[in-house]
Amino acid sequence: MSTLHVVRVFLGPGGDGGNPLGVFLDGSAVPADRRQAVAGDLGYSETVFVDAVADATARIRILTPGVELPFAGHPAVGTSWLLRHLGRPVDTLEVSAGSVRTWPENGLTWIRARPEWVYPVRFVEYATPGEVDDLAPPPLGEESLCVWAWEDAGLGAIRARFFPDEPDVLEDEATGGAAVVLGARLGRPLTIRQGVGSELHVRPGPDGTIDVGGRCALVEVRDYRT
Using an 8 Å Cβ cutoff, are 195 and 172 in contact? yes
pLDDT by 10s per residue, the chain, length 226: 899 999 999 999 999 999 999 999 999 899 999 999 999 999 999 999 999 999 999 999 999 999 999 999 999 999 999 999 999 999 999 999 999 999 999 999 999 999 999 999 999 999 999 999 999 988 877 789 999 999 999 999 999 999 998 777 889 999 999 999 999 999 999 999 999 999 999 999 999 999 999 999 999 999 998 8
Distances (CA, A) of 108 to 20, 33, 73, 99, 155: 17, 34, 14, 20, 19
* pLDDT tens-digit map of 6-34: 999 999 999 999 999 999 999 989 999 99
pLDDT at 226: 81
Residue 139: what pLDDT?
83
Amino acid (one-letter) located at 86: L
Whether 226 contacts 2, CB under 8 Å: yes
Cα maximum dimension of the chain: 51
The SS3 of residue 28 is: helix
- Please, what are the domains in the chain? 2-112+213-224 (3.10.310.10), 117-210 (3.10.310.10)
| CB proximity list for 90: less than 8 A, separation 6 or greater | 53, 56, 57, 58, 80, 83, 84, 102
CA distance 71 to 61: 9
Measured between alpha carbons, how far is 149 from 160 in angstroms, rounded to an integer?
A: 7
CA distances from 45 to 4, 53, 89, 155 (A): 15, 23, 24, 30
Listed in sequence order, the DSSP H helices in 11-147 are 32-42, 73-85, 129-134
